[in-house]
Every structure is written in C-alpha cells, then in structure tokens.
Chain A
Amino acid sequence: MKQDKVISTILFLVALSAISGLALITVFIFKEGVPIIARVGGRQFFLSSDWDPGLGHFGIFSMIIGSVAVTAGAMVIGIVFGLGLAIVLTQFAPRTIAGMLKPAIELLAGIPSVVFGFMGVVTLVPLIRTYLGGPGLSVLASSMVLGIMVLPTITSISIDALQAVPRTYWEGSVALGATRWQTTHMVLLKAARSGIVAAAILGMGRAVGETMAVIMVAGNTLEIPRSLLDPTRTLTSNIALEMAYASGDHRQALFATGVTLFVIIMLLNTVALAVSRRRSGRGGVR
C-alpha cells in the first residue's frame, strides 16, 4: 500500500527525533566543553581543586567531591525510604491506603525543585545549625533534601521490579509458612534485586543532576567538605551559579563541567539500563 509506506516513512523520521536530539546535545556540549579541558589539561581540570575563573584556574575536583558526597548521602536516604515505601505499597498496605499513598508519592515527585530547596533553607538548615552545628548550609542538608527528591523515582521503579516477580514465588514461600516479611526479604527482594539496583542507580543519576535545590542548601563554597556539616558546591551548582555572567574561557570551563556531569550521568544510566535489561532477559516481565 503506497499510502502506508509514506506514512511509515514520515513516522520513522519523526521517531528519530529523540535520538537526534540526544546526538545534538552530545555534540554541542562536547564541542563547547572539551577544548578547554584539552587546553587546561585533564589532570589539572579534574584533579585540582583550584577554581578561580578570574585567574584562569579551572580545577573542579572540589566540586566532584561535593557532588559525590551529596549524592552518597542522598542515596542512603533515598534507598531506605524509597525501597521501604515500595515494600509497604506492594506487600503491606491494604488497598485503600495504597490508593492514597501512591498518589502522594506521585505528588511528591511533582513538587518543583526550587520549592524543595526553599523548604530546606527555611526549615532544615536552621535545624541543622542549631542542633548539630556548622552553618547549616551543608552536605547533610543537601543530602536530606535530595534524598526526598529522588525517593519517588526509586519507589516507582522498585515497585515495578517487585511486581514483576512471578506470583508463584510469593505463593511458594507463603505455602512453606513464611511470614510476609520473611517472604519479602528472603524471596522477593532477591528476585527483584536487579530491578531495585537499577532503581537505585537511576536515583543516583537524578541526584547527581539536581541543580536548583542543591544551590539553595549546599552553601556553595569552594573548599572540599571535610564533614557532613561543611558546606560544599556541586558540579551542577557551579554551572548554574556562574553561567549568567561567565564569558570566554570561564564559560567554556562551565561547559566542560557540564561535559563531566553528562558523562557521569550517561554512564550511570547506561549501567542502570543494562542491569534492568538483564533482569528482563531472565524471563521477567517487560
């Protein structure tokens, strides 16, 4: 059918938009950012913590540490809460409560990042400052805010993973006399392990990429944080804070920061996708 072929071709070209968009992004970000890395030298750029655009010093090491620290903390909270909620929703919650809990989590996912950051500044930071010391604007504050922000991602993917476990596993365990929790941690969690790992990695990607909330609660200093209560600056904050007034080499260095970020997140996401695809290769439901 002639008409069918034409439509098919048109749709195919449109469908390439996603991949061409990705290609464009990759090309342009790298085009802007890679030259200066080459110029400054990879070692200098990635391993020096001397970031002083005025003097032409571009070392992002302290920001890499900042991102790592903040993300690690966020993961602790994100996984504990995220996985916990997933377990509650799939194993322990009666239908009515699940019906309220799920939308609540979706709503949480919809709250703008600037609002999260704001609430962090207004509520969390003073609390930390008063009871734990330090300026309040800290790795801890950032981790907590980020943890809550990535929680919905981890929850929803973990729920998918848990629900993909064949019901026969659950029935088999219960038939042997196991309690709900025993079934959960001895059978279901193991069976859903790759999906849950994928959820965590994707959550990590989200945390690394978050910008606005972190700017508001992290403190944005350039020193490498030595404790949870120290302020820090992440790769994302660096870009967002300075892009407005940067030019020339400085701007290129910010793009280079973006390249770093991009590579890290693409790696994380590819690993996550590979892990979750391995799961479906094993006969899971996809």
Chain B
Amino acid sequence: MRVSPFLSQRIVVVILWALAAITVGVLLYIIAYILIHGLPHLSLSFLTLSPEYMGRRGGVFPMVVGTLLVTGLAVLIAAPIGVATAIYLTEYTREGKMTAVIRFGADCLAGVPSIIFGLFGFVFFAITLGMGMSVISGALTLTLMVLPTIIRTSEEAIRTVPHSYREVSYGLGSTRWQMVTNVVLRSALPGICTGVVLSIGRSISETAAVMLTAGSALRLPHSLFDSSRTLALHFYILSREGISMPNAYATASVLIISILALNLVAYWLMHRFAVKVR
C-alpha cells in the first residue's frame, strides 16, 4: 500500500510541530519554574545585602559585583580587540593565507570548551602571570572565550555595509581609516553591539571557567586581584551543597531575568539593524 505523499507530509508535519512544541515547552517550563520558585524570595535587599552563613541567609551583593566586574572587564577588553580584528580582516587585507589562519584561530577558539579555558586561565593567568584566583584572571579568561563571537558578529555586520558607501567615502577624499570609522563602523554599529550583548550573556552564564580562575570567595572584592564569586557559580554551589534552596532559586532568577533582558536588547538591536539597511 503506497502512502500518499500528502499523508506522509501530514504525519511529518505533525511530528515536526510536536518537536517544536516540546522545545518551546521545555524553555517556558524552565523559565517559569525558576521564576515561580525564585521571585518570591527576590527583593532589593537580596541584591544589596551580603551573604551570611555561607549563603544560607542574606543576599548576593558581592556576587552581583563580582559578576559585573568579571563580565564587564571581559567584554570591555574583548570588544576593541574583536572589532579591530574584524576590521583588519574585512578592510585592510585581501582574502589569503593570513586571513585563513586568523579565521582558523578564531573558529578553533570558539570550539574550546569552557573547562579548558578554566584550566588555561588557572595555569596561565593565576599561576604563571601570578595574578592568583582573582577577578582579573577570570576576566581575562572570559575575554578569550567571547573573542570569537565578537569577531564573527562584527565581521558579519561590517560585510553588510554596501561597497558603494565605501566608494563614495573615498570619492569625497577620505583615507581608509576615515572611511572605516565614519562610514563602515557607524553603519555596522548595531550589529557589532548585538555581538557584544550576546557575549555579555555568555559571560554571565559561564561557570566552569570562572570557577577555576576567579575563585569562589564570598567577600566583596575590593580590588581586581581579589577572588570573587559570580552569580552563576553561587547558584551552583548553593544548589549542589543544598545550602539554601530559596536563595538558590532567587539567584537563578536574577540570572534568568538578566538573560531575558539581554536577549531583548539584542533582539531590539537586530530590528534596528534590519531597518537601517533597508
């Protein structure tokens, strides 16, 4: 008995939509579960107080600061390097051996798992360079982690700028650098920012690498060389050691809300991006 192609399509479509529904369902379930259990315990004081009794009571202020420092520094350092690399690859050189090598390096770097970054950061930044388990070790490690993302998204953004814009700029008497800064970067900015926002999201979620480089100190870091615990790591420790489930949920809620907010910003940027190119 031959199955009619329309029937087999029907069946396949149902299966495919079921897969989609399951996926979205899982996503919503995770978000809802965390927020439902966590929001009741989330308050301004939670964010501004320090933890007591290893986190059984109190808030997560030092973790918030730690996360902001580590993530902020990482992106602050990685962004100029990544954008400069993207500019070099697109505007200052032709496709050839060197660009292939650089891209290969970036692609490989993108595939390195976070635990390896952690190991590297530990042995290189913490030990060899003597920075110890600290905010700066963590930040520099994360810099390497997000660098490929920024390079890739910046390159894509720069490539969407029409070639004619560049010719017009030259025709009006610009140098290459003037053209890059005034025309290309100005137009590519939303796309580049999207990449930066995505990198922030990735840094916030990162646990394995910061565990081995920034450490897990509960105190508020007073300098870049102090150890500090990020929110993601705090959540991991709280839940795994069973220290305080309410606080764990609340911490996770902070993470989830931050990710949601970042994704919204990235989404809005991409919208503005699409409109601009039109």
Contacts and interface: CB of A to CB of B under 8 A. Distances in A.
A and B, direct touch (CB closer than 8 Å):
yes
Contacts of B101: 19
A172 interface: no
B240 A112 contact: no
A217 to B, nearest CB: 11
Contacts of B176: 1, 4, 7
Contacts of B122: 243
A151 B22 CA distance: 12
Nearest to B9: A181
A209 B107 contact: no
B173 interface: no
Interface in B26-67: 26-27, 29-31, 33-34
A114 B235 contact: yes
Contacts of B16: 84, 87-88, 92
Contacts of B256: 111, 115
Contact of A112 (B6, B98, B116, B205): B205
A17 B81 contact: yes
Given A15-B84, A24-B124, A92 B13 contact: yes
The number of chain A residues touching the other chain, given as a range, is 35 or more
Contacts of B244: none
A115 B204 contact: no
B212 interface: yes
SS of B interface (majority): helix
B146 to A, nearest CB: 11
A119 B105 contact: no
Contacts of B267: 103
A255 B212 contact: no
Interface stretch (B161-169, B183-191, B219-227, B257-265): B257-265
Interface string A109-139: 0111111111101110000000000000000
Interface in B244-263: 248, 252, 255-256, 259-260, 262-263
Contact of B92 (A11, A239, A254): A11
A118 B111 contact: no
B263 A110 contact: yes
Nearest to B122: A243
A85 B113 contact: no
Given A81-B23, A85-B23, A240-B115, A114 B236 contact: yes
A66 interface: no
Interface of A: 1, 3-4, 7-8, 10-12, 14-25, 28-29, 32, 80-81, 84-85, 87-88, 92-93, 101, 103-108, 110-119, 121-123, 148, 151, 178-182, 202, 205-206, 208-212, 216, 236, 239-240, 243-244, 254-255, 258, 261-262, 265-266, 268-270, 273
Given A108-B26, A114-B205, A236-B113, 4 more contacts: A29-B120, A106-B266, A209-B112, A255-B123
